[in-house]
Amino acid sequence: MSLNGTLEVARSGLAVTALGVRTAGHNIANVETPNYSRQRQLLAAEAPVPYGNVQLGGGVTQLGIARVVDPFMQQQLLASDSSLGGTRAQASALELIEGVLADRAAGGLGSALTQLYDSFSDLAASAAPGASLERAEVRSSAQSLIDTLHRLDGFLRDEMQVANGQIEASLPRVNELLAGVRDLNEQIARSSLAGSPANDLMDQRDTLVRELASLVDVRVHEGNGGRIDVTLANGVGLVEGNQVRTLVAVADPNNPFDPRFARIGLQNGANVSDITSQIGGGSIGGLLRGRDVHIAAAVRGLDTLAFNVAARVNAVHAGGTGANGAVGDFFAQPASVADAARNLALAPAILASPDAIAAGLTSAPGDNRNAQALAALCDARAPIYVVGDSLGAPSGPTRSVLEHFASLVTDVGIQVRGMSSVRTTQEQILETLENRRDEISGVSLDEEVTHLVELQAAFQANARVISLVDRLLEDVVNMI
């Protein structure tokens, strides 16, 4: 046994302690870094040295630096990111539709609808040659209903375009993230081959994957050499080994609203396969649902409203006679329920002259019977035309036009309420998960500072050993 050996033990203590300060410092420096996992030293006693028939301790060694993570937490966070991303996109689409249909401000659809029927009633109450004033009012009320429908329809279709634009703009970011994951995969694999796991690169990769999950619902699987594979929910690989398959926007010629609307394709060499139906979550999935389900349904809601108003008014109107003897439709009857709101217009005869409005069953100026019947349509219940019905064969529930409008608004209200409560729940779940992750992996300053105090004491103690050995050696030297 030599004093030099003891010196060596103390030296290893000093070195490990200094490395410990470095690790604690690294943790403190990254206290605000998103997704940073705290690191800790893996320490072990150095292999003992045989001395006679005893084993003497050989000091301390640092085996490595590990991140403190729960491998299952990341999966849960990814799932939560995807559902929240999707729900947020859907909720904002629904809130927008609610704003379009809900009718607090004047000039809304509900009041335009009521005004048309009121103008029929005014015409009935004052059927006279002087009713040209009321006839003009009927025509302008109808025109303003048409304008309102066109405006709201255009607004909703613009929002579809916006959602589509967001989908298309998100795809390059997805591809960038996929390439980033692949690159980090390679660096991590090289580093783990060299024997030292790249903790900080893994954290970086987790960050990329989480952003990816908030865009598209992806799954992550452990690959070889510390790599991860990224797949879609159905197992189709996006990142496998050093292979990346990119997502591309594919124009959908069958889209009933705009043939340029994008579907999501997976680029597989020269082939592109349609994977739109595989994307259920993430903001892209939410935008797809917003565009193709929620906004599309709202547009069709306006369409059914327009078609039913036109069909019902026309049916009664064509039974009467205008002041100028004209017999015919009031609205140009839309060809189909689909796009009826966009195509709704007054019949050419009505546009040409308000005298073509059939206030009476005869052209007699005082005959108000048909106007009375038109006014009564406001509350008249009949089967509603729904998308796909042809004129004369309505297959929907029995409702008045106003009831139909109210049910559209209520349905959207229920959906918005449901979706925003889902959003609140998912935000809370994500917060809980983030907290659980932090509980395991987050940097606690108190803990790190306590650790620094410990390290300081350890460093001082090791230094004390060295100075003691030094004095012993001095004593030995002085003896000579």
Q: Contact positions toward another protein, by CB under 8 A? A: 31-32, 95, 98-99, 101-102, 104, 110, 114, 117-118, 121-122, 124-131, 360, 362, 364-369, 372, 375-376, 378-379, 402-403, 405-407, 409-410, 412-417, 420, 427-428, 431, 434-435, 438-440, 442-447, 449-450, 453
Residue 63 or 105 having the CB closest to another protein: 105
Residue 19 or 125 having the CB closest to another protein: 125
Residue 158 or 431 having the CB closest to another protein: 431
Residue 120 or 257 having the CB closest to another protein: 120
Q: Nearest-CA neighbor of 200 among 16, 32, 434, 36?
A: 36
Residue 42 or 445 having the CB closest to another protein: 445
- What are the tokens at 81? 């990111």
User: Which strand (E) or helix (H) includes residue 39?
Assistant: strand 39-45
- Least distance in Å: CB of 275 to another protein? 32
Residue 25 or 165 having the CB closest to another protein: 25
- Least distance in Å: CB of 156 to another protein? 16
- Least distance in Å: CB of 373 to another protein? 10
- Least distance in Å: CB of 243 to another protein? 36
- Least distance in Å: CB of 169 to another protein? 27
Residue 221 or 417 having the CB closest to another protein: 417
- Least distance in Å: CB of 366 to another protein? 3
The 10 Å Cβ neighbour count of residue 268 is 13
- Least distance in Å: CB of 440 to another protein? 7
Residue 58 or 319 having the CB closest to another protein: 319
Residue 56 or 449 having the CB closest to another protein: 449
Residue 71 or 392 having the CB closest to another protein: 71
- Least distance in Å: CB of 134 to another protein? 10
- Least distance in Å: CB of 416 to another protein? 4
- What are the tokens at 75? 């999966």
Report the alpha-carbon distance of residue 322 to residue 355 in Å, rounded.
6
Residue 170 or 372 having the CB closest to another protein: 372
How many Cα atoms are found within 13 Å in the side-chain-facing hemisphere of 318?
Answer: 12
- Least distance in Å: CB of 334 to another protein? 24
SS (H, E, C) the chain: CCHHHHHHHHHHHHHHHHHHHHHHHHHHHCCCCCCCCCEEEEEEECCCEEECCEEECCCEEEEEEEECCCHHHHHHHHHHHHHHHHHHHHHHHHHHHHHHHCCCCCCCHHHHHHHHHHHHHHHHHCCCHHHHHHHHHHHHHHHHHHHHHHHHHHHHHHHHHHHHHHHHHHHHHHHHHHHHHHHHHHHHHHHHHCCCCCHHHHHHHHHHHHHHHHHCCEEEEECHHHCEEEEECCCCEEEECCEECCEEEEECCCCCCCCCCEEEEEEECCEEEECHHHCCCHHHHHHHHHHHHHHHHHHHHHHHHHHHHHHHHHHHHCCCECCCCCCCCCEECCCCCCCHHHHCEECHHHHHCHHHCCCECCCCCCCCHHHHHHHHCCCCCEECCCCCCCCCCCCCCEECHHHHHHHHHHHHHHHHHHHHHHHHHHHHHHHHHHHHHHHHHCCCHHHHHHHHHHHHHHHHHHHHHHHHHHHHHHHHHHHC
- Least distance in Å: CB of 354 to another protein? 15
